[in-house]
Amino acid sequence: MDQLSSEIKAGLEVPPISTFLLILLAVVVIFLALAGVAVYALVKVGKRASQSARQATARLATHVNAMGNGDAAEVERLRLDLRREVSMTRQHVDAALQQGWGLGDLPQLMRELSQQADVHDTQLGMYAQQRRVSPYVDHVTLDRLREHQAKLTAMCARIRADLLDSQVHHASTGIEELHARTELEIESRRRTVDPLDEIDELYRKTMQERRDPS
């Protein structure tokens, strides 16, 4: 009986070296998983930083090129103007959405306008680059780019004007309501004239006139 118990215990016991290897393997797996997550995060951050750096470099180059003279510099200034118009308009639309305004299809139109502006910006950049390296002046293309620029900036201005008109109308409604409430409150706070006080005042004036006939 004792021999059987000893054999069962021996079969159930795990050698210490096997336990150590299992723990070590688990630690290695966890370390590799953490290392993989860290590498993935670093790659994502690096891509975003690289993209931001390229965008900043492109914006700086546009500002520098816009300071010159000629058609290329004019086109670069058109790019800056369009970016500013689209950015302001997008901010107005986002602010209206955050305030819960009913904008209908305006947000979708703003997204499509932004996409068209990006395409137009690319076309302006290509024209400016070609104009800087080539003496040939393509007046037809430049006129079409100017026409597209005018339409895009006009749409931005119309959207902002419509949003501002809606905001002014909403504010005027609130102002009128506040004005009416203020007038009611002021009227309610005024002292109500007692008829007996009016009789006493009239009697006092009558007696004074009798005493002073002149």
DSSP 190: S
Torsion of CA 145, 82, 65, 70, to 10 degrees: 40
Per-residue confidence band for 212, with pLDDT thresholds at 50, 70 and 90:
low
**166 closest CA partner among 111, 109, 110, 100:** 100
Q: For residue 151, what are its two tokens?
A: 């339409």
Residue 213: φ, ψ to 5°: -60, -30
CA pseudo-torsion sign 41, 46, 49, 50: negative
Mean pLDDT of 7-28: 61
- H-state helical runs in 99-138: 106-133
CA angle 24, 27, 33 (to 5 degrees): 140
Which residues have CB under 8 Å from 165's CB, separation 6+? Answer: none
Q: What is the pLDDT of residue 49?
A: 58
Mean pLDDT of 3-15: 47
Q: What is the pLDDT of residue 53?
A: 53
**79 closest CA partner among 106, 60, 53, 51:** 60
Q: What pTM value is reported for the model?
A: 0.55
Answer yes or no: are the C-beta atoms of 103 and 162 closer than 8 Å: no
Q: Tell me how far the alpha carbon of residue 36 is from its chain's centroid.
A: 34
Per-residue confidence band for 64, with pLDDT thresholds at 50, 70 and 90:
very low
Which residues have CB under 8 Å from 145's CB, separation 6+? Answer: 75, 78, 120, 123, 124, 127
Per-residue confidence band for 201, with pLDDT thresholds at 50, 70 and 90:
confident
- Separation of first and last alpha carbons in the chain: 144
Please provide the DSSP assignment of 46-99 as one string: HHHHHHHHHHHHHHHHHHHHTTS-SHHHHHHHHHHHHHHHHHHHHHHHHHHHHT
